[in-house]
Amino acid sequence: MFSGAGAAAPKEDDSEGLEQVEKMAKAMGMSVEEYQLGVRARMKMEESINDIRVTGGDKAKGVSVERDGNTPSKHFIITITDEGKALGKANLEKELVAALKSANDQAAKGRSSSQQEMMQFIAEEMKTMG
């Protein structure tokens, strides 16, 4: 949606950066303030998604998956204990697939929540702008 502008708030002495932001805002049919709000909202959402940590699987069975909310994940840990190994290949595969699916489903819910929070942030900020 809003990409490539970094913090989107150029330094006051950075006329070249301000010109770039103005060009991007104009290209998207937005004011500079709206564009900067969009970039801030996106960055806030990305941070929220990076901070998500979900765990799928059954630790009692010795198989678990921990991941963040990104697709593909930046944080991804698969844990298989001796109990998991003792399940045998077929059952271990079944438990691992279930753990991956569970963690993926939870991450999707987390991403959706982060997107809703971003939209709420934009709505609240727009009220103060106009």
Q: Is residue 127 part of a domain?
A: no
Q: Which pTM does this prediction carry?
A: 0.78
Look up the domain containing 34 and give its range.
1-51
pLDDT digits (tens, 9 = 90+) for 47-60: 999 999 999 999 99
- Give dist(CA 103, CA 56) in Å, integer: 4
Q: Is residue 70 part of a domain?
A: yes
Both 86 and 62 in one domain: the answer is yes
Q: Is residue 126 part of a domain?
A: no
Both 70 and 113 in one domain: the answer is yes
Percent of the chain with pLDDT over 90: 79
Query: ∠28-42-32 over CA atoms, to 5°?
Result: 40
Both 57 and 46 in one domain: the answer is no
**Residue 4 clears pLDDT 70, i.e. is over it:** no
- Give dist(CA 2, CA 111) in Å, integer: 17
**Residue 107 clears pLDDT 90, i.e. is over it:** yes
Q: Which two tokens stand for residue 62?
A: 């010795």
Both 74 and 24 in one domain: the answer is no
At residue 5 the predicted structure's pLDDT band, cuts being 50, 70 and 90, is very low
Q: Which of 2-6, 64-68, 88-92 has the lowest mean pLDDT?
A: 2-6
Q: Could you give the number of structural domains in the chain?
A: 2
Cα 106 to Cα 37, 75, 89: the distances in Å are 28, 14, 26
Both 6 and 41 in one domain: the answer is yes
Contacts of 78 (CB under 8 A, 6+ apart): 64, 65, 96, 99
Both 4 and 24 in one domain: the answer is yes
Q: How many CB atoms lie within 10 A of CB 49?
A: 20
